[in-house]
Chains A and B, each alone.
Chain A
Amino acid sequence: MKILVCIKQVPDMESRFKLNSEGTWYDEADLAFRMNEYDEYAVEQAVQLKERLAGEPEITVLSLGPDRVVEALKKALAMGADRAVHVKDDKYYQKDPWQVASVIAGHAAGQGYDLVFTGMQSQDRGSAQVGVTVAELLGFGCATTLVGFAYEAGVITAKRELEGGSKGVVKLKLPALVTCQLGLNTPRYPTLPNIMKAKKKEILVQPVSELLKEAEVTGTGGMYPPAKRGGGIVIEGEVNDQLDKLMGILKEKTTVLRAA
């Protein structure tokens, strides 16, 4: 079995974001980057499957982006992936989800992958399109938002998270692509011996120009911080003073504390 895991490197979401000079994306200076949280579940699920199948599957991890994404690829290798593909693209943020999916499908076509794992979305762009689109381009069965995964004799039984806590159970045959949601598993921390082993694993670098065949179908107009809602009061200072002000406001503006 050949497995592909698609990962993205994204900024720490606790960061303060500034815009780039064109106002079309965030400025990457001063940001700390890490593996997209949803993709960590994808890597973990692939490695768990490999372990359960006694190490038979070969796991390739792929990321599109500038040189820094090699760090995310190395983490995936240290978690248990066998080899990595870095699709090098300094202007990755100018590609729309359709182009990103086309590039991944361009890599995957002819490689004989049986199973592809992706996160359900990236934490920065959040389009939730790339995984499903890759599946469509490859003609693979696809299930999204997995919170449960089981594999037996060429058939995946997946639990999809639906609204309100219910789940939808689906079965799909290989070849297939699944997108992973929080709660699917607990991603492992790479151990020191595995980090050392990962240093010897292959990272193939391929320029994006070799894989990109499609024009964009959506573009970014502009990017900006959200407008603050008018009327919202910000209270800073010492806790007791803050409390005095808050209780006054609650008594005046709401009915919930009047009886108290």
Chain B
Amino acid sequence: MSERAAKITPADDEQHDDQIADGAAPDAATETDAESERTPVTTGAEAVVRALENAGVEYAFGVQGGAIMPVYDALYDSDITHVTMAHEQGAAHAADAYGIVSGDPGVCLATSGPGATNLVTGIADADMDSDPLLALTGQVPTEFVGNDAFQETDTTGVTTPITKDNTFSSDSDRVGTDVSEAFALAREGRPGPTLVDLPKDVTNGETDREPDAPRVPDTYEVQERADSDIVAAAAERIETAARPVLLLGGGVIKGGASEACREFAIEHDIPVITTMPGLGSFPEDHELSLEMAGMHGTGYANMAITHCDTLIGIGTRFDDRLTGGIETFAPDAEVIHVDIDPAEISKNIHADYPLVGDAETVVEQLSEAVDSSPEATKWRAQCQQWKSDYSMAYDAPTDGPVQPEFVVEALDEATSDHAIVTTGVGQHQMWACQYWTFTEPRTWVSSHGLGTMGYGLPSAIGARLAADDDQEVVCVDGDGSFLMTLQGLSVAVRENLDITVAVLNNEYIGMVRQWQDAFFEGRHSASDYHWMPEFDKLAEAFGAKGFRIDDYDDVAESIDAAVAYDGPSVIDVHIDPDANVYPMVPSGGDNGQFALTEDQL
């Protein structure tokens, strides 16, 4: 487990909570010398910033504007580093990635109206992926609210369906505590985005109220331990399983349960599959790993999930990209489902053994309850057989166009096991899933649930600031995705962030082109992007380092140079425009019936 992952283990969290309970932490009067010297707050905006400081916030990402100006004015005197983004969508993605890598909520700021609406995509993205995120939005003064004032948007109304919780702050004495509470809520239990809307009169208003410590409201209850009777029954099921499989989802990483799951799988010799958000929870170079299942998962993972008799799903919400058609998903399996959110239990796939609780705690409960390992020698041999039957091999003749899989593998080679990968959305994202060998949690940063093109570069910025100095950050992007948020390069250059962007440039929005070829008779309606700029030159125009790859001879050299470059670099990789992603389970199809070639679709 990486040091960073260790940083957010529940043990530490408990300690943190204890401090808060003792009133030791954020009480300004009794704090350490440095903190007791802090000047008392005098305005709502100062209370907002104080709340962030109390929560240990180091970075905030945002864009200035009229309604949020009081908060920025208060930030001026704070030690929090504000990273000015080129677009608010980037601010939300950067904060989201910061949250994924660090485990603590990332913070983004925007003004009212257009600032707030520009955050919406990033908030929705964080919501779908249960990433901890705190969004602070300016709002027009309370007396204008509801009057269609200049730059007014009903931000809490707009974001209700895409936030874990949001608050319209209406009182300068309360605003700091609103922010503290929102911060705590974003992180606690199943993480997610929270938002506080800050009317200008509230942030400008006078107050001497220091914000309360980050603490979730009393009505928010999280169950840590699963029902012991069901644990016992599930343990018995595992002991007697003939064809068991562990399915690790994003919740494993968020819950800091990767280590516990590894130990459990290895002790009982149970093959492991991950979902896409679960990449990194289990080392893909381990013999038990079958890698990722789902629409573009490996053939062996999909065979195993289809034929298992006991499916232990941990921190997964059984998204349709994973399950394919419900009727044919793990059709022989009894399902043991561990999740901290009771609403995930039996939402999509009925859980025969519902285990509500914190992933790490429940896996430890299971570990204690399972007395003997399942007898699954034949099953494991079968899984290994599938691994060779359906190996992820590809042809890369050196006289042909560069194959994307080769580029992903070369990038993986050129970087350490701890390197962080971010992506846009499309074929390149799937190649990154398939051909990068993930071994550590919190090294995979991608837009899973929402599938947001343009996520790659801004998330690389957030990941870079959360990462350790010696962790490389590589963004594997698509040409279409990169084009959506590449103004973020200006930020990377200004902050001199050491990021390598590899644009897998096929002059198509390739995933759409692949579907058009498969399902729309090759009619390339609006998917042909022959008007792409030269990304290496564009990078140079921003002040970043540009590279271009046209054939295999350039690959190693350019990648090494780009990774070595101390600052943002962009490699425009001209790949085979016709390359497609396989295996593929057509939408709603049977996972076991994945296609290996186009004519099997």
A and B associate in one complex: no
Query: Interface on B for A, CB 8 Å cutoff?
Result: none
| Residues of A that sit less than 8 Å from B by CB | none
